[in-house]
Structure 1
């Protein structure tokens, strides 16, 4: 399989591209690719380019763009995951797997039972890290549009935002009897709200219901926060997506 690389600087016909530093290191030091070897490059705006390596020098790799393919591997169902921030390794896993499953966007929120609290530069670094995890997942799974990972906001701030027209708002809840298969096919996008380790407090769940979120049960077993979003996405894609 030809190596896929995300190049966020933007790609254009005939460009001579310098790969991002991390990607260049991976190509030259890990994969040990040589001049003339093929690559597939994408900038996250849709479509992908075939390319050929023209220079390999330590951690510097350059490639010439050849042909553009407008292929689109996005799911027909746009799902936004609103995920209560989990511990670092769990959050990485959530981002990676949900991107592979087709999530359109990720909104991290801070709930009362969230294990970690981030703000300022620490939050910016962590969100940038999650965005890089999303890009790497796109390289692996073949997507050419990188889902955005938004800055962290407190749950009440998020719930105060206006709903999107025709949006189906779902709250992952083991206490609710409603199942995904019992819901009609959404007319627009879906927003899925998933709680932190320990779940949402009662007041948080009530506030979510007050702004239009409907509880949905993901099965007879209680799922961990890092499992719930991926399991729900897989179910929604099987029922309503691709």
Structure 2
């Protein structure tokens, strides 16, 4: 039986003893781990990969483990896909974050757009983002991914575009569109380089003004076909196509 996987986003070294976070300790306790049991730590921001580890002690609140050998294994797609999504309502954003993480997206940017139903601000937005980040970490524990996608703070489309640095030669930028002139995603993925950044509208889609803003900023429309998909369905269909079309070797990794 494979050792349980636990997210530990700190640099590690063989032989050191570390205390797991409160959340990770609760996870280990729920799994009923005992001293001497094996587990796998992942999330090292310096070396990546994963670490074999052994439980040293099970405290009431904190679990300590000994770090053993590093395994330089990565299971990320060969292309880094950054999704910017007009947040769907209810529990659909949770589902989107979980499944997009399983498919290997590099980051998720929740967007407030003109037609967004879910409108988050201030402390409520911060709590939601922390929740979605925890959903992403749990999805990596399950699926074997060693790079947890960053879930960025909620921004309006205009705020987000203003903060982006210019795209380099290895990056393409697009938005999902129903326009007849949009490039089919299946064709677009064949020429897409190492990094793709894609905007997906909320329920009701992007407004013509928002699409004009993206086009003026150098973004290109791509299409998943004539059917009108829910935003979370569209995001996952796109992520699956990009992952399947990617070169087998992981691209240079970036969470931004």
Q: TM-score of the superposition, structure 2-length normalised? A: 0.87
CA distance, structure 2, for counterparts of residue 147 and residue 194 of structure 1: 17
Q: Deviations over 1:205-238 (max 9, x none)?
A: 1211221222222134221011111100111122
1:73 to 2:75 alignment: yes
The alpha-carbon distance between structure 1 residues 141 and 230, as it changes in their structure 2 partners (threshold 3 A), is: same
CA distance, structure 2, for counterparts of residue 65 and residue 231 of structure 1: 38
How does 1:32-51 map onto structure 2 within 5 Å?
32-45=32-45, 46-51=48-53
What's 2:105 paired with? 103
CA distance, structure 1, for counterparts of residue 224 and residue 44 of structure 2: 31
CA distance, structure 2, for counterparts of residue 93 and residue 171 of structure 1: 21
Counting matched residue pairs gives: 241
Instruction: Give secondary structure in 2 for the equivalent of 1:12.
Output: coil
Structure 1 position 193, deviation (Å): 0.6
Q: Which runs of 5+ in 1 are unaligned?
A: none
Match for residue 216 of structure 2 among 210, 232, 239:
210
Q: Which runs of 5+ in 2 are unaligned?
A: 249-256
The alpha-carbon distance between structure 1 residues 44 and 133, as it changes in their structure 2 partners (threshold 3 A), is: farther
CA distance, structure 1, for counterparts of residue 43 and residue 192 of structure 2: 30
RMSD, aligned α-carbons? 1.8
What's 1:163 paired with? 166
Structure 1 position 10, deviation (Å): 3.1
What's 1:180 paired with? 185
Structure 1 position 40, deviation (Å): 0.2
What's 2:253 paired with? none
Structure 1 outlier segments of 4+, above 6 Å? none
